[in-house]
Structure 1
Amino acid sequence: MALTLSEKDVPPLAEQDGALPRIIGIATANPPDSYAQSDILDIFGITDQRIRSLFMNSAIDRRFLILPPEGPDGGRRMETQGELLRKHRASGVETGARAVRECVARTGLDLSEIGYICCVTTTGLLTPGLSAHLIKELGLDVRTSRLDVVGMGCNAGLNGLTAVAGWAAANPGRPALMVCVETCSAAYVFDGTMRTAVVNSLFGDGAAAVILMADPDGLLDRPESGVRAEGPTVLKFSSRIIPEAVDAMRYDWDDDQGKFSFFLDRDVPYVVGAHAELVVDRLLEDTGLRRSDIAHWIVHSGGKKVIDSVQINLGLTRHDVRHTTGVLRDYGNLSSGSFLFSYERLMAEGQVRPGDLGVFMTMGPGSTIETALVRY
């Protein structure tokens, strides 16, 4: 049975001066169109049985995508790198803004109260970054502090959360915002190879926003505050990079296609799984906790083999990763925002009890595993 902690039983490592940051709101958004895996195969006229098998055995039912426009012959026209970057910007601003507006509305806050925004993305490069575009789009205060986390991949949501939690802890009573915005369809290459087919069969488009706040006076739990806060306190982070696997997930420039092409090594699931125990044990070090004390596991939906590998190496049940597999099934791999889609489902489920402990885990290029310990 998972352990729950009262306020007085907080692990020693989490005891520090001031209030700990707390997740007080979550919302997600996607482009308007979703496609079954079979739809995508038919739209692009893919007949190669190896590629069709890859798509149909991915444990993914549907994905939200912005597909290339139709050409004169009714087929899909291949986009240039410039068109892909414009797609990244347009979709990123639109879906990111929708996620932020919904997140702010759910908390009872106002957009004008946001003091910090961190935007996380890997599917395109903009200067200025998405944070500047979202400040303009949302009409945020021009004094809002901002950070863009670009190119770190699927693990980057927790890298961004580390920065946001740090700002919230240093500015108690002020809301800090993180937005993970991934237009993975702006990073596709269609050349008929198995290398690109692996990527094209897996990733989807979406955005997720969370708001954190440190609450030294306990106002968040008082009705008169006007803020609806249901999320956990963030206690601790732990990271592990695997330098020998630095090239296992990467962008390369494809001279023939004239665009960036993402690469996933076939051994990624085994590399991640082999190191999962090490980073989780480090996360729980000096807390007096064991893995069996964790009630809720929010693991990045990296793909069927990745999830299976993490599940086996950490001794997790299928119930433990139900939201991870559910998000993969319904959205595909949403890169940095995947774990927040799973977290949103956990909160909507209504099964979390006060004092429950949880672990967030993301993995990506580097190769890197990021974790966070939270208390609900």
Structure 2
Amino acid sequence: MTVDFAPPERLLGEVPGAELHNTRLTAYGRTSVHPRIVGVGSAVTPTSYTQREVLDACGISDPKVRSVFLNSAIERRNLTLPPADADGLRAPESQGDLLDKHKTLALEMGAEALRACLKRAGRELSDLRHLCCVTSTGFLTPGLSALLIRELGIDRHCSRSDIVGMGCNAGLNALNVVAGWATAHPGELAVVLCAEACSAAYAMDSTMRTAVVNSLFGDGAAAVALVADRAPVLGGPDAPRGPSVLKFASCIIPEAVDAMRYDWDRSLERFSFFLDPQIPYVVGAHAELVVDRLLAGTGLRRSDIRHWLVHSGGKKVIDAVVVNLGLTRHDVRHTVGVLRDHGNVSSGSFLFSYERLDVEAVTRPGEYGVLMTMGPGSTIETALVRW
């Protein structure tokens, strides 16, 4: 989806501190409505663990495996581990038990994140007209959207969609689709809800393959609300708090299609997640390509982007993106903070970062931001937003 860039003279007006970079905008396309973010909310499961506590719960003593956990830049994660036995260790769960866990946690976290998002937006469940649910940690039919509509008493006529199995990048894939829905239904409220019960994708063993995954992911859900309306003059009395969603750009790396995958492990008789150790460098090498494509035709340069909300994919992933895009540690402070406090919460990670930026209240009218997610495919998704 592509949305107009309004002429600079209409955008800038007399807004104090409006940045010079706006004068380089070029208008293209024609649309009278602009999807914008009006609220965000998040939720996690009740129990959190330090990395050392997870190692002890899994009975892991191998120094190499322990170093993966302890050098992850993660302090705590929310997880729902199986009950401890008499020795304090956690036994592996069957695939059926894990699917049950996914359903329970996704519903609980999803409902909490949805309510928090609507509260932030000043809306009610009765205002909801489209609900898009995203998850990769389990499979449900009917999907999570239908279960939430029943659970929360949402209007049965609410339009809905489910995006399943796309992985950590899927939040932006969903935002792209729902931004289009919102544009086609001006004034109507749409929500993207990412609910990832990563505890339901946990393999309780001490192998290095498993350690890379088990050291990283945490349970979390995040929701973002969109409404499309006519964009007001920046700084005017009707100016919204949230940014307009202007443009998306994607990049899939076919030669790395197997580098991140969640597939059936015949030896364990359950689904298992795999991460190639080289994936941070593959993602980093392509980050510049997709961001330049995102900014093409806008008159903007990377240096004009004031806010970067990058997926908390892991320390090496973040470092690779920072180096390849020439970002500062301040640019990714929220990305790093989410990783530290929650680990990688998959598709909703970038919304956890957006929520922190929203609470920080440092954005100004006319400023631009880039949202970036990465995941299986291997894929990089980006969006350009403007406050």
| TM-score, normalisation: structure 2 | 0.92
Match of 1:197 in 2: 211
Partners of 2:315 and 2:300 lie apart in 1 by 28
1:7 matched to 2:11: yes
Match of 2:4 in 1: none
Match of 1:93 in 2: 107
1:53 matched to 2:67: yes
Structure 1 residue 357 displacement after superposition:
0.3
Partners of 2:243 and 2:119 lie apart in 1 by 19
Match of 2:18 in 1: none
Partners of 1:98 and 1:14 lie apart in 2 by 39
1:65 matched to 2:76: no
Structure 1 residue 190 displacement after superposition:
1.9
Structure 1 residue 217 displacement after superposition:
7.7
Counterpart of 1:239 in 2: which secondary structure? Answer: strand
Question: What percentage of aligned pairs have identical amino acids?
Answer: 64
Match of 1:161 in 2: 175
Partners of 2:378 and 2:217 lie apart in 1 by 18
Counterpart of 2:169 in 1: which secondary structure? Answer: helix
Match of 1:122 in 2: 136
Listed as ranges, the matches of 1:304-323 within 5 Å are 304-323=315-334
1:24-82 deviation digits (Å, cap 9, x = unpaired): 00000000111100111112221111111110000000000111123355431211000
Partners of 2:140 and 2:236 lie apart in 1 by 41
Comparing 209-218 with 241-250, greater Cα deviation is found at 209-218
Match of 2:16 in 1: none
Listed as ranges, the matches of 1:138-153 within 5 Å are 138-153=152-167
Does structure 1 retain, via aligned residues, the 8 Å contact 2:262–2:271?
A: yes
Partners of 2:277 and 2:28 lie apart in 1 by 38
Query: What amino acid is the match of 1:78?
Result: P
Closer/same/farther in 2, CA of residues 116 and 13 from structure 1, 3 Å limit: farther
Structure 1 residue 335 displacement after superposition:
0.5
Partners of 1:120 and 1:229 lie apart in 2 by 26
Match of 1:267 in 2: 278
Q: Which runs of 5+ in 2 are unaligned?
A: 1-7, 13-21
Match of 1:258 in 2: 269
| TM-score, normalisation: structure 1 | 0.94
Aligned pairs, number: 369
Query: What amino acid is the match of 1:374?
Result: V
Partners of 1:193 and 1:99 lie apart in 2 by 34
Structure 1 residue 15 displacement after superposition:
5.0
Over the residues paired in the alignment, what is the CA RMSD in angstroms? 2.0
Partners of 1:110 and 1:14 lie apart in 2 by 35
Listed as ranges, the matches of 1:1-376 within 5 Å are 7=11, 11-12=25-26, 15-71=29-85, 73-216=87-230, 229-376=240-387
Match of 2:3 in 1: none
1:335-361 deviation digits (Å, cap 9, x = unpaired): 100000001111111111111100000
Structure 1 residue 106 displacement after superposition:
1.7
1:307-365 deviation digits (Å, cap 9, x = unpaired): 00000000001111111111100000011000000011111111111111000000010
Closer/same/farther in 2, CA of residues 222 and 139 from structure 1, 3 Å limit: farther
Partners of 1:292 and 1:121 lie apart in 2 by 33
Counterpart of 2:120 in 1: which secondary structure? Answer: helix
Does structure 2 retain, via aligned residues, the 8 Å contact 1:14–1:236?
A: no
1:196-228 deviation digits (Å, cap 9, x = unpaired): 110000000000011000113859x998x9xx9
Counterpart of 1:17 in 2: which secondary structure? Answer: coil
Partners of 2:56 and 2:273 lie apart in 1 by 23
Closer/same/farther in 2, CA of residues 229 and 25 from structure 1, 3 Å limit: farther
Does structure 2 retain, via aligned residues, the 8 Å contact 1:168–1:212?
A: yes
Does structure 2 retain, via aligned residues, the 8 Å contact 1:14–1:235?
A: no
Partners of 2:109 and 2:30 lie apart in 1 by 37
1:155-192 deviation digits (Å, cap 9, x = unpaired): 00000000110111000000000000001110011222
Does structure 2 retain, via aligned residues, the 8 Å contact 1:18–1:169?
A: no
Structure 1 residue 16 displacement after superposition:
2.2
Q: Structure 1: which 4+ aligned runs deviate by more than 4 Å?
A: none
Structure 1 residue 230 displacement after superposition:
2.0
Structure 1 residue 17 displacement after superposition:
1.8
Partners of 2:97 and 2:67 lie apart in 1 by 30
Partners of 1:21 and 1:14 lie apart in 2 by 16
1:262-318 deviation digits (Å, cap 9, x = unpaired): 000011011101100000000000101100000000000000000000000000011
Partners of 2:232 and 2:322 lie apart in 1 by 36
Partners of 2:265 and 2:176 lie apart in 1 by 33
Counterpart of 2:328 in 1: which secondary structure? Answer: coil
Partners of 2:306 and 2:352 lie apart in 1 by 18
Q: Which runs of 5+ in 1 are unaligned?
A: none
Counterpart of 1:345 in 2: which secondary structure? Answer: helix
